[in-house]
Amino acid sequence: MAASAAGAVVRTTFAFDAWTTAAVRDEILRVCQGGRVQEVIQPDEHTVACEVYAQRRRHYLVLSAHPQWARVHFVPHKPRRGLSVPSPLLLLLRKWVRGARLDTVDQAPFERVLTLTFDHPEEGVSYLVAEIMGRHSNLLLLGPDRHILHAVKVVGPDRNPIRTTRPGDPYRPPPPQDKMPPLEVTVKHLRTWLAETVAHHPVWRVLVAHVAGISPLMAREITYRALGDPLTVAGDVDSRGARQLHEVLGLFLHMLGSGAWEPTVVREGKDVLAFAPYPLTHLGTPERVSSISEAVTLWLESQGQTDPYAGQRQRVRQLLSEARARVQAQVDGLERELAEAHTAETWKRMADWLLTYAHQIPSGATEVTLDTDTGPLQVPLDPQLTPVENAQRYYRRYQKARRALTELPSRLEDARATLRFLDQLETDLNLAQNAAEIGEVEDALIRLGLVRRDRKRVPPPPARPLTFTTPEGYTVLVGRSARLNDEITFRRAAPEDLWFHARNVPGAHVVLRSGGHPVSEETKRRVAALAAYYSAARDDAAVDVQVARVRDVRRHPSGKPGQVLLRREEVLRVPPQPWEESPETE
């Protein structure tokens, strides 16, 4: 939400509209036309990234069919590979596009569809089509005959009988919008649409409903420039207002035709509320940026969507989710078994009284009510068995339940400990800052037997703890993974060193290697704040942090790496804070 220049409150969203698409097309042509594609990678299942060498520089072009953030733009750093096994689309892109020259980029008129044409020295011409259409977005690789080689989203006739995207199908562009092209809109059209609209209906909605290529964000900007309020309603617009709307629409069309882009973002504090290839005056004070790609990147960064390891992290997060579901199902099953086992005495009582009345129970009965010393007892029976055989069956259930009562509690506690360990791994994944640390989570799942080892997976080099130095010259070690937590606590730390961990939440073990020497209260609180920062509670205002001598920390009986018990501790309540100096990795 943002306050407009007219004082109204306007909701903003990711607006990659036809004008933004055109600005991106012009940027690609200016920066990379004629350049050679040196590498193609797939950071995640929705996204393709190309490294293009042009004008003596490497440029990184991202094309994404993400259902919420579909886009095409340049990014400042090389994206990371995310998929451990290349997808069929990626294999074909490496064949047709890697090593090819980017000839041109075309945009369907007033549509969010870009077609990049590549010419490979051996394979010939191919086309990469980016359809930026929200949850219907797609990326498609076409051969020289414009038949589909593969796509991010393969759609068959069972899902869309009119337009399929299967390999081998001829490519059909998305159906055009049932709206008027902006070039054909006249003042008369605007007056008619406004007159036919309910009086309290916002003008910007009228523009979106009738004019092709205009997004809600752009429609509000046009309304604000023409009428002074982005939320002006149709009933308040006269003939003069319709002419002003037409004049402002003409300015936007001139921008589209001339390529005179002015990319901007609008901020609220540090957050980027919106971006566009033109000044967004209705949201406040627009901030000029160097390119539309920079504007898109700034918005995504503000939303936490620029993780260079997003693909790898997403894949491991899915493995973690599947493992958690299996362990939770195991816990639920064990709890049910334990609940049933607590009825063991009832089964023995049924067996005893069945034997007592065996000679009185008719054969073939499915149930019998027996008069016992504590009142009537209903006993279900298997009609295929004799009363004695039914009694023996209940005795067997009783014996099984008795055994379960001795075995199940430890199995249940072990399964619950595994769930807690998965909580720790989830925190490790959220805090991971590189491929090695993300790989630590996957390796932990493999060691637990919850994930099958992929023979094609090349494990990253092992992660190392972060290290900092206190003003007194002591070293601080931060684990940031279950394995590293175990390593720094039980292998690297001395008995008199200080150990820190956020209380009752998953997080990193932090060791202050003081060797028992005096540590100032300021340093202790600073290290405690660091432990709070590297925990699942890092966004809280204040966090309770456990502080103990390493000699008072022992491994948890579950045997899971990083899970511990404390003999004694003190608790410091501190706000989570990163270390002021940059960390080092050993």
What is the DSSP-derived secondary structure letter of residue 476?
A: E
Q: Write the pLDDT tens digit of every residue in 38-54.
A: 999 988 888 999 999 99
> Residue 7: its pLDDT value, please?
45
pLDDT of residue 125: 97
Pairwise CA distance, residues 439 & 481, whole Å: 10
With cut-offs at 50, 70 and 90, classify the pLDDT of residue 457: low
Residue 8 has pLDDT above 50, yes or no: no
| Neighbour tally for 414: CB within 10 Å | 16
Would you say residue 186 has pLDDT above 50? yes
Show Cβ contacts of residue 313 under 8 Å, excluding neighbours closer than 6 positions: 82, 307, 429, 432, 438
Q: What is the pLDDT of residue 21?
A: 96
Tokens found for residue 147: 């038949």
**Location of structure tokens 């939400």:** 1
Burial of 86 (0-12, 13-18, 19+ CB in 10 A): middle
Element at 256 (helix H, strand E): helix 239-258
On whether the CB atoms of residues 40 and 50 are closer than 8 A, the answer is yes
- Read off the tokens for 114: 């870009």
Query: Is residue 567's pLDDT more than 90?
Result: yes
What the block records as the tokens of 214 is 């205009």
- For residue range 174-183, list pLDDT tens digits in order: 988 899 999 9
Q: How far apart are the first and last CA of the chain?
A: 44
- CA distances to 95, 96, 166, 229, 556 from 119, rounded to whole Å, are 12, 8, 23, 49, 61
**Contact at 8 Å (CB) between 264 and 275?**
yes
Query: Where do we find the tokens 């409150």?
Result: 9
pLDDT number for residue 556: 84
Helices 435-447, 310-341: axis angle to 10 degrees equals 30
Write the pLDDT tens digit of every residue in 60-102. 999 999 888 899 999 988 887 666 678 899 999 999 999 999 9
The one-letter code for the residue type at 378 is Q
User: Of 502, 506, 492, 358, whose CA–CA distance to 425 is shortest?
Assistant: 506
Q: Which of 525, 524, 546 is nearest to 535 (CA)?
A: 546
Query: Of the candidates 108, 139, 106, 134, which has an alpha carbon nearest to the alpha carbon of residue 29?
Result: 106
* Cα 55 to Cα 453: distance, rounded to the nearest angstrom: 43
CA separation for the pair 245, 237 (Å, rounded) = 10
- What amino acid occupies position 470? T
Q: What's 351-410 look like in SS3?
A: HHHHHHCHHHCCCCCCEEEEEECCEEEEEECCCCCCHHHHHHHHHHHHHHHHHHHHHHHH
Residue 115 CA to residue 105 CA, distance in Å, equals 6
Return d(Cα 398, Cα 375) in angstroms, integer.
21
Rounded average pLDDT over 442-460: 76
Domains of the chain, first to last = 2-8+179-284 (1.10.8), 18-131+134-151 (2.30.310.10), 312-430 (1.10.287), 466-585 (no CATH)
pTM: 0.58
* Average pLDDT, integer, range 461-487: 88
Distance CA(283)–CA(115), nearest Å, equals 32
Which of 231-240, 332-341, 421-430 is modeled with the greatest confidence? 231-240
Residue 539 confidence (pLDDT): 79
Sequence-distant (≥ 6) Cβ neighbours of residue 324 within 8 angstroms = 419, 422
State the sign of the Cα–Cα–Cα–Cα dihedral 285, 290, 292, 296. negative
The lowest-confidence range among 253-257, 278-282, 450-454, 488-492 is 450-454
